[in-house]
Amino acid sequence: MNKRSYDVDVVALKIFDQLVDDKAVNVDLDGVKYPIRRDFGGKQGNIPGVDIGTYRYIMQNPNTKSQYAIKAQQGHKIMWVINTDPKIVQGDRWVARVEDGECFISEKTGTYSSTWTKVAKAHIAATMTIAPTIQSLAKSYGKGGV
């Protein structure tokens, strides 16, 4: 595992590509595997997602009434990056959204109504990083891969 820092957009896009694969059982980040859970989504409990450190990467639940659920019903693939750290204020939990392979960073890290800025495909470095390294995430939270 290298020691470079991962920007939120790079990690989100790597995870997105793996979560949209219905056959995938793990997310692989530089050789560390994290199990994909398919029990998110309330009563239906069939929404795929993965927890890495204090971040949750979860596909949009199409069974709600939000504008993004409507898009998911229409066939768009949408994944959310949510900071689940209990110390974070509720409105600051929504970090990024990947929609059909394009990453959007929350400007105000807030609710769905935040201002979302599209990250250029040429990779503009995000101002917030997920963690110094994926390896440190695994060690910090004892949730290393499989």
**Is residue 27 pLDDT above 80, yes or no?**
yes
- Can you tell me the mean pLDDT for 1-12? 59
**How many structural domains are present in the chain?**
1
Whether residue 39 lies inside any domain: the answer is: yes
pLDDT of residue 5: 39
Q: Considering only CA atoms, which of 137, 100, 135 is closest in space to residue 1?
A: 135
**Is residue 76 pLDDT above 80, yes or no?**
yes
pLDDT of residue 34: 95
Whether residue 58 lies inside any domain: the answer is: yes
Whether residue 145 lies inside any domain: the answer is: no
- E-state strands within 1-146: 6-7, 26-29, 32-35, 37-40, 47-52, 55-59, 78-83, 94-99, 102-106, 116-118, 129-131
Whether residue 143 lies inside any domain: the answer is: no
Whether residue 141 lies inside any domain: the answer is: no
Whether residue 105 lies inside any domain: the answer is: yes
- Between residues 36 and 90, the one the model is more confident about: 36
- Can you tell me the mean pLDDT for 83-102? 83
Greatest distance between any 2 Cα atoms in the chain: 42
Domain that holds residue 67: 6-135
Whether residue 79 lies inside any domain: the answer is: yes
Whether residue 16 lies inside any domain: the answer is: yes
Mean pLDDT of all residues belonging to the chain: 76
Q: Mind listing the pLDDT tens digit for each residue in 108-145?
A: 644 555 676 777 554 434 333 444 444 444 444 444 45
pLDDT of residue 85: 87
